[in-house]
Amino acid sequence: MASESPRLEVRNLSKTFAGVTVLEKASLALAPGEVHGLVGPNGSGKSTLIKLISGVYSADPDGEILLDGERIGPPIKARALHGQGLSFVHQDLGLVPDLSVRDNVRVGRHAVNPATRWIRTAQDAAAVSETLNYLRTDIDPSAKVSTLLPSERVAVAVARALQDRTPGAGVVVFDESSRAIPHEALPAFYDMIRLLTSEGTAVLFVSHDLKEVLEVADRATVLRNGRVVETGIATAGLDEAKLTSLVLGRAAELGDIMTSLPPTPRLEKVELVDVTGGRVEGVSATVHRGEVVGFTGTVDSGLSDVGPVLGGDRRGAGQVKLGGRVVDLARATVVDLLDAGIAFIPADRHDKGIALELSVEENATLPHLRSRGKPWWTGLRWQRAETEGIIARFDIRPPNPRMPVAAMSGGNQQKVLLGKWLLGTPDLLVLDDPTQAVDVGARHAILTASRRAAADGSAVIVCSAEVDDLAAICDRVLILQDGRTVRELTRPFDADAILAAIFAVDDATTPAGEAR
């Protein structure tokens, strides 16, 4: 019986590059109908394992990959995988926004007229509708992907992975897919995964986010340094701390950040007066130097606009008063903000934070060239020295200042971004969603660095929906609702208290009759 054997089984899979073993004898098994989490820090061999299964890399000869008990490789024939029952949803979902849902789902598998080789659109559309119906969505197959909601795009990507499948069969691998999905669409995504497995399909769920894995996965496999540390452990008996210590090989409690860097408030302060822009409507607040103040709220609270308005990434109004200077946000250019000592670390790392094909050194020193260099000479020594300093301080790996940032992991890229703005010891540091898409180790480093920036004398504002992060580093937390600050929490508080405050506010101020 097929159901007796695992849907997907990997036995003793290894990969050696130029004599270096990056994955050593990895084994794991996915039972029918289970969500299996695959976790591990950057460089642990996670993506190597996925690339071996998907046929991007060829594995060393002694391993085995089996689907429903049948050996499919190595060598893996990438083109045959979908037919054999193994499909992948990658990080960026791989959708072309300007094409229709139908074309996006059917790409490479179009139904064609055997004589003319023309695409049979009606047949394609019917097949796509069937798959989408199975996923319980009513997306129009002829709609352009660019017009869809984020949660619908996820469904389209999943539909592509599922098409031509017997319901309940096969394996779908989600390779860090949740990175491409905004917070608000994640619950729908998780529901879809559960729907898949409820019929017997197995899911391999690769993620850097341990909390997510605990929520979605039934069992998990942990990779560290190219080896499987644990495989098939039930997530029911785990909490985040236990899983973290498995992943890192040590405990990385976020709680120790406040203890090692206790509050050091100073008299000098930064004042936000009537800050407005985007969904933010008249936010005023005082942040002392040496203090970390969090902003949080629900998705439509205006939270995502606070950072961009303060950092000059979005037109706004209002004032920022720092040390006798008054910056008028309606008129200030980015240069004015920088000169006033405001550093802004944007949420969208790849689009706004760092230039990927340029080196660590070029990225890190960019904002400081005006003050540290001369118009006719950037100066080499300070650039190298400061970059080496950032690399050492944030433990950036590999420690090579000339490496293009694109070649680094997400966590290390974020460290470069942080280092770039902390180099100048800003008066006001504004971080927008700083721990997005980084692993546990990097998260700890980033949060510690934010806290340390305050200890070094900056006033720090953290805009985040991650209540655990806020609880770990903030002295105060301001809750936003409809673009205004409606509540302030002061220590002591924990993550649950912040979460409760966000939703308490929401309930209290949203009468039943009010239109949403």
Partner 1 sequence: MTTTRSQPTLDTNAARVARRRTGIPFARATAYVLQRYSLVLLWAVMVVLFLLLLPNGVDLANASRAVLGQQTPVVFLGLAVIVTIAVGEFDLSFAFVYGLAGTAFPALVVLDGWPVPLALLAALAAALLVGLINAVLVVIVGISSIVVTLGTGSVALGIALFLSNQSNVSGLDPALAQVALGRFLGLPAVFWYGVVLVIITAYVMSATPLGRSMLFVGSNPNVARLAGIPVRRVRFGAYLVAALLSGAIGIILACGVGGFSTATAQVQLMPALAAVFLGTIAVVPGRLNAIGMLIAAYFLLSGVFGLQLLGLSGWVTNVFYGAALIVAITVSLLLRRRARA
d(CA 371, CA 379): 11
Q: What is the torsional sign of CA 173, 349, 352, 403?
A: negative
Output 85 or 346, the one with its CB closest to partner 1. 346
Note whether 362 binds partner 1 by CB under 8 A. Answer: yes
Q: Which of 115, 116, 324, 376 binds partner 1 (CB under 8 A)?
A: 376
Structure tokens at 215: 């929520």
Q: In the stretch 302-331, what mask flags binding to partner 1 with x, by CB under 8 A?
A: ---------xxx------------------
Cα separation values, 276 from 284, 288, 326, 357, Å: 9, 21, 16, 35
Note whether 43 binds partner 1 by CB under 8 A. Answer: yes
* Residue 352 CB, nearest approach to partner 1 (Å): 4
Output 18 or 267, the one with its CB closest to partner 1. 18
- The amino acid at residue 358 is L
d(CA 341, CA 81): 54
User: What is the 8-class DSSP label of residue 350?
Assistant: I
Name the residue among 225, 246, 240 with its Cα closest to residue 397.
225
- The amino acid at residue 514 is E
Note whether 107 binds partner 1 by CB under 8 A. Answer: no
Note whether 354 binds partner 1 by CB under 8 A. Answer: yes
Q: CA angle, corner 484, sides to 495 and 352, nearest 5?
A: 75
Q: Which of 262, 324, 331, 377 binds partner 1 (CB under 8 A)?
A: 377
* Residue 375 CB, nearest approach to partner 1 (Å): 6
Note whether 356 binds partner 1 by CB under 8 A. Answer: yes
Q: Which of residues 4-33 bind partner 1 (CB under 8 A)?
A: 17-20, 22
β-strands 292-297, 317-322: how paired? unpaired
Q: In the stretch 237-276, what mask flags binding to partner 1 with x, by CB under 8 A?
A: ----------------------------------------
d(CA 422, CA 289): 14
* Residue 342 CB, nearest approach to partner 1 (Å): 11
Q: Which of 239, 328, 357, 488 binds partner 1 (CB under 8 A)?
A: 357
Note whether 40 binds partner 1 by CB under 8 A. Answer: no
Note whether 375 binds partner 1 by CB under 8 A. Answer: yes
Query: How many residues contact partner 1, by CB under 8 A?
Result: 47
d(CA 235, CA 211): 11
Structure tokens at 189: 């995504």
* Residue 432 CB, nearest approach to partner 1 (Å): 11
Mapping DSSP to helix (H, G, I), strand (E, B) and coil, where does residue 331 land? coil
Note whether 227 binds partner 1 by CB under 8 A. Answer: no
Residue 253 phi/psi, 5-degree rounding, is -75, 130
Output 182 or 398, the one with its CB closest to partner 1. 398
* Residue 312 CB, nearest approach to partner 1 (Å): 7
What residues are paired with 294 via a beta bridge? 462, 477
Q: Which of 107, 234, 358, 504 binds partner 1 (CB under 8 A)?
A: 358
Q: Which bin fits 231, alpha (ψ -120 to 50), beta or left (φ > 0)?
A: beta
Name the residue among 507, 482, 487 with its Cα closest to residue 498.
487
* Residue 348 CB, nearest approach to partner 1 (Å): 8
Could you report how far apart the first and last alpha carbons of the chain are, in Å?
A: 52
In the complex, the residues that contact partner 1 under the rule CB under 8 A are 17-20, 22, 41-45, 48, 225-226, 311-313, 333-335, 338, 344, 346, 351-358, 362-363, 366-367, 369-370, 373, 375-378, 397-402
